[in-house]
Amino acid sequence: MGAQILSVSVDSHFVHKMWNDNELSKMVKGGIPFPMLSDGGGKVGTVYGVYDSDAGVENRGRFLIDPDGVIVGFEVLTPPVGRNVSETIRQIQAFQLVRASKGTEATPSGWKPGKKTLKPGPDLVGKVWEVWKTSEAFD
């Protein structure tokens, strides 16, 4: 998949080191493999619309950026609910497939690797019901 993860919070990079060394390295063998970025004051988070200036922290914003630097998707959650990493991975797989097909294929609702894609074009207009069933939107 080859995606680069970057995590960001308002904590200093010194605190990131302490968190990695004292807690996260006990959950993830070898410690956190990606850069842990510091955004003191939330300047970067503000530009991305995820910094909560009242609480002084970032919300759980996740931005998917393609190799051209274009944001292809994002999700923002308030702090108490964690994300679904599997869904992020699925979205990357879908966007990579579409990009590799140069836009000749599209991934319908519920698509995951192994499921069929759609090939948009004049022949498919009004015919999606023949090639794709709503049950395929679910696992």
List residues near another protein by CB under 8 A: 1-20, 23, 31-41, 43-50, 55, 57-74, 79-83, 88, 92, 95-96
Closer by beta carbon to another protein, 28 or else 128: 28
Q: Which is nearer to another protein, 60 or 117 (CB)?
A: 60
- Read off φ and ψ for residue 116, nearest 5 degrees: -75, 150
- Euclidean distance between CA atoms 41 and 8, whole angstroms: 12
Residue 135 Cβ vs another protein, minimum distance, rounded to whole Å = 28
Q: Looking at beta carbons only, is 82 or 121 nearer to another protein?
A: 82
Identify the sign of the CA torsion 103, 109, 114, 118.
Answer: negative
| Tokens matching residue 107 | 């991934």
Q: For another protein, give the closer residue by CB, 67 or 122.
A: 67
SS3 118: strand
Structure tokens given for 73: 């998707």
Minimum distance between the CB of residue 29 and another protein, rounded to whole angstroms? Answer: 13
Sign of the alpha-carbon dihedral angle for 28, 88, 73, 118: positive
- Shortest reach from residue 27's CB to another protein, in Å: 13
User: Least distance (Å) from another protein to the CB of residue 130?
Assistant: 30
